[in-house]
Structure 1
């Protein structure tokens, strides 16, 4: 559920849905950092024996 869904839910006073979407958004943000770090680590060249 995108953040727009949370905004729409707030506009409709659907606070339960807005809180759920907001919580999911926070979880995504917390996972993004480690995921990006792992992706960058995979792109680092590996030293190989000649």
Structure 2
């Protein structure tokens, strides 16, 4: 029984780690996307001003 509990807690830790990793990746991606859209908006404004 002890062995199974140990194994189970390891699985839980791995799952938690994966959840945290996915969360961090999503935050990073959304920040990158926001930066990209900001850059695109900036470029569009400049092009509109030039015309």
TM-score range, shorter chain: 0.5 to 0.7
Task: Give runs of aligned pairs for residues 1-50 of structure 1, distance below 5 A.
Answer: 13=12, 14-44=15-45, 45-47=48-50
1 or 2 for the larger relative contact order (CA 8 Å, sep ≥6)? 1
Output the aligned Cα RMSD: 2.1
Q: Give the gaps of 5 or more residues in structure 1.
A: 1-12
Count of residue pairs the alignment pairs up: 37
CA distance in 1, matches of 2:29, 2:39: 15
SS of equivalent residue, structure 1 residue 18: helix
TM-score (structure 1 length as normaliser): 0.52
Unaligned runs of 5+ residues in structure 2 are 1-11
